[in-house]
Amino acid sequence: MTEQTLLQIPAPWHATVAPGDIVAFRFPHETDGSESPKVRPTLVIDVVERFGERYAVLAYGTTNSRRFGRREAYAIDVLDEAERDGASLHRQTRFHASRRLMVSLRNSGFDIRRDACTARLGRLSGDSLKRLQQVRARIHAEQDMRRDRNRQRRAARPVVVETKRKGRIRSAKEVRHV
């Protein structure tokens, strides 16, 4: 009896993408203009599933090192040379999680390399990966607080309801929560 070898076909890149991955994406400009967005390294902050489809929350990446004031709390810097190599970044790069968007992983803005059939360039490691986890925790905490505030606004308020029969108010009062 002969032994058969089964070929392992790798899953498509969008099925395995995870937070911390660096992908090539045409990130839209902040302001409208005539130039189309250029392909740039973009950080996957989170991956969520909605309505049976996977979406990625992407953070804008730039080599411009200028400060952004209060948005510094959302900055993820990749400075170390070894970390940059693993992330396929040629220069020191800052990802701004304050400038993020959610897109389908089948979005045409991803730049798929023909040779590897993937938009994934690399992955964060070391201090930059730890920083990503801190930023993600902050974003999730803010989302939870926002959800709680909205829930409190919509919370039930007691309303007294009096009923009338033949023009007379009944003595029994009912409290309903609306």
6 pLDDT exceeds 70? no
User: pLDDT tens across 49-89, in order?
Assistant: 998 999 999 999 988 766 655 578 899 999 999 999 999 99
Using pLDDT thresholds of 50, 70 and 90, give the confidence band for residue 177.
Answer: low
Q: In sequence order, which ranges of the chain are alpha helices (DSSP H)?
A: 13-16, 81-87, 126-153
CA separation for the pair 145, 15 (Å, rounded): 30
Where do the structural domains in the chain lie, given as residue ranges? 13-153
Secondary structure in 3-state letters for 94-115: EEEEEEEEEEECCCCCECCECC
The proportion of the chain whose per-residue pLDDT surpasses 70, expressed as a percent, equals: 76
Q: Which two tokens stand for residue 172?
A: 């029994």
In CATH, what number does 13-153 get?
Answer: 2.30.30.110
